[in-house]
Amino acid sequence: MILKDKIILKRIVLFAFVILLAGNLSTSCKISYTFTGANLSADIKTFSVYYFPNRARLVNPTLSQMFTEDLRDKLQRQTSLDEVAENGDLVFEGQITGYEVRPMAIQKDDLAAQNRLTITVKVKYSNNKNQEENFEQSFSAFEDFESTQTLSDIEDGLVPEILKKLNEDIFNATIANW
């Protein structure tokens, strides 16, 4: 019986040793996965989004507020960063520079079959932890609509879709580093 107990004890000790060794290896070789697309260094903890004024010739009175809030919401949802009013580790500022409708698909008699609403935003991105990542860039996104519809009829449906595209592009260029 004693021999059998020694073998069992050795197996238990060996098993415990393997578990401890595996635990040490897994903590020393840390791999981090995120499903949000964020690619940030560990020292970045905060972000600030300043109000984006509308400087476009054609002005949608709610566009500045909607864009600014949508960008804040996206950063809150898809990162673990805390929002601060000023001087975050990451700073987003800029202005809306374009809001225009243009005819797209021209048919006979020079009439447009479709129109395109395009929104352009100039973004100044500052990474206060890594100045090499700072940039200033314009982003544009659009949606097409039938020429039989007026802008005022479809604006409330198109603008959120365009803002979603813009904010995805801005997120990819800054946080995801695409």
Q: How many CA atoms lie within 13 A of 43 on its CB side?
A: 4
Domain boundaries, the chain: 1-31, 40-174
The pLDDT of 82-102, averaged and rounded, is 97
In terms of Cβ atoms closer than 10 Å to its own Cβ (0-12, 13-18, 19+), residue 88 is buried
Output the CA–CA distances (angstroms, integers) from residue 17 to 3, 8, 11, 20, 65, in the order listed. 21, 14, 10, 5, 59
Q: Please say whether the beta carbons of 173 and 73 come within 8 A.
A: no
Output the CA–CA distances (angstroms, integers) from residue 151 to 36, 53, 69, 116, 117, in the order listed. 34, 21, 23, 10, 8
CA dist., res. 50 & res. 95, Å (int): 10
Task: Please name the residues in contact with 164: beta carbons below 8 A apart, sequence gap of 6 or more.
Answer: 70
pTM of the predicted structure, to 2 decimals: 0.76
Radius of gyration of the chain (CA): 26
Highest averaged pLDDT of the listed ranges 6-10, 102-106, 163-167: 163-167
In the prediction, which pLDDT does 111 show?
73
Kindly indicate the confidence band of residue 8, based on its pLDDT and cuts at 50, 70 and 90. low
The pLDDT of 148-174, averaged and rounded, is 95
State the CB neighbour count (10 A cutoff) for residue 38. Answer: 17
The pLDDT of 54-72, averaged and rounded, is 96
CATH class of the region 40-174: alpha beta
Q: Please say whether the beta carbons of 67 and 121 come within 8 A.
A: yes
Kindly indicate the confidence band of residue 116, based on its pLDDT and cuts at 50, 70 and 90. very high
